[in-house]
């Protein structure tokens, strides 16, 4: 049984007061949740303050990116050790905005995933196709390629650290979510691929989140799909009521009781 996992990606939003207030609101609403994993990923500069706000809760802290480098002359970068130092458990890697706005390639994303695992962080590894790729029936090819390249060289013993987030680019921040059938189809494909790259046991244990305009009203439908194990939530994670409702609905749909 895979424990559902709901993560909030706050992106480049909030200030210090609103970040702490959002975290405190979530602690009040879902801070003692059991049977479901919950994480929030604030901007780097608010990680310490949010870590303090979350300290009495079961909500984990994550970052939105990490350097593949360990330390040194990499101006503006943040290392795995720094994220561990401020109590991060998770790190999002390969988010579509980093792939398509910043220009990160699969090879760099692979290095970041390897660095994160070696550094004791749990990567949330994002993959997903562009609208034009879906329209050209290339979704499977594109996503499978991203998964293979992103996980290159990662052995069976280490792959357990990874959560995959399927985030169709056309669904992120657009209000248009993938249908539950579309999500299930790609999630099943990814799980099958993990089975081929590793083995069936690892595939059955791998958590695969869906991301892309997930919100309270579509959570039950998405989470009811057999291969959808959680959600990576952008916009709706910025409101206590919405994110808490999604956590509660996800737990009701498939929480580990």
Catalytic residues: 95, 167
Exactly one of 20, 214, 222, 228 binds ligand PEP (CB under 6 A); that residue is 214
Q: Which residue is nearest to ligand PEP (CB)?
A: 234
Q: Does 167 bind ligand PEP (CB under 6 A)?
A: yes
Q: Does 211 bind ligand PEP (CB under 6 A)?
A: yes
Name the residue nearer to ligand PEP (CB basis): 114 or 232.
Answer: 232
Single out the segment in contact with ligand PEP by CB under 6 A; choices: 56-64, 139-147, 151-159, 227-235.
227-235
- Compute the least distance from the CB of residue 187 to ligand PEP, in Å: 15
Q: Does 213 bind ligand PEP (CB under 6 A)?
A: yes
Angle at CA 32, nearest 5°, toward 29 and 37? 100
Exactly one of 6, 20, 228, 233 binds ligand PEP (CB under 6 A); that residue is 233
Q: Does 238 bind ligand PEP (CB under 6 A)?
A: no
Residues 9-28 that bind ligand PEP (CB under 6 A): 9
Exactly one of 108, 143, 183, 232 binds ligand PEP (CB under 6 A); that residue is 232
DSSP letter string, the chain: -PPPEEEEE-TT---HHHHHHHHHHHHHHHTT--SSEEEEE--GGGHHHHHHHHTTSS-EEEES---SS-SSS-TT---HHHHHHTT--EEEES-HHIIIII---HHHHHHHHHHHHHTT-EEEEEE---HHHHHTT-HHHHHHHHHHHHTTT--HHHHTT-EEEE--GGGTTTS-PPPHHHHHHHHHHHHHHHHHHS-HHHHHH--EEEESS--HHHHHHHHTSTT--EEEESGGGGSHHHHHHHHHHHHHHH---
Q: Does 146 bind ligand PEP (CB under 6 A)?
A: no
Name the residue nearer to ligand PEP (CB basis): 44 or 52.
Answer: 44
| Site size with ligand PEP, rule: CB under 6 A | 13
Q: Does 234 bind ligand PEP (CB under 6 A)?
A: yes
Residues 6+ apart with CB under 8 A from 61: 39, 40, 41, 42, 47, 50, 51, 54, 86, 87, 88, 89, 90
Name the residue nearer to ligand PEP (CB basis): 110 or 218.
Answer: 218
Q: Does 172 bind ligand PEP (CB under 6 A)?
A: yes
Q: Does 173 bind ligand PEP (CB under 6 A)?
A: yes
Q: Contact positions toward ligand PEP, by CB under 6 A?
A: 9, 167, 172-173, 211-214, 232-236
């Amino acid at each position: 049984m895979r424990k559902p996992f709901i993560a909030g990606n706050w992106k480049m939003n909030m200030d210090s007061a609103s970040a702490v207030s959002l975290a405190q609101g979530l602690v009040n609403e879902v801070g003692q949740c059991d049977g479901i994993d919950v994480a929030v990923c604030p901007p780097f500069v608010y990680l310490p303050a949010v870590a303090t706000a979350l300290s009495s809760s079961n909500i984990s802290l994550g970052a939105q990116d990490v350097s593949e480098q360990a330390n040194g002359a990499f101006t503006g970068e943040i290392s795995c050790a720094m994220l561990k130092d401020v109590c991060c458990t998770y790190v999002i890697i390969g988010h579509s905005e980093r792939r398509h706005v910043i220009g990160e390639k699969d090879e760099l994303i692979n290095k970041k995933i390897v660095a994160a695992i070696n550094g004791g962080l749990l990567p949330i590894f994002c993959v997903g196709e562009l609208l034009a790729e879906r329209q050209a029936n290339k979704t499977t090819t594109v996503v499978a390629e991203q998964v293979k390249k992103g996980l290159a060289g990662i052995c069976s013993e280490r792959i357990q650290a990874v959560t995959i987030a399927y985030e169709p680019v056309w669904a992120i921040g657009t209000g248009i979510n993938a249908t539950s059938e579309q999500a299930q189809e790609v999630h099943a494909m990814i799980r099958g691929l993990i089975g081929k790259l590793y083995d069936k046991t690892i595939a059955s244990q791998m958590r695969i989140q869906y991301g892309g305009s997930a919100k309270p009203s579509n959570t039950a439908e998405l989470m009811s799909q057999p291969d959808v194990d959680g959600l990576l939530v952008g916009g709706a994670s910025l409101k206590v009521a919405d994110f808490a409702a999604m956590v509660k609905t996800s737990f009701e749909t498939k929480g580990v009781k």
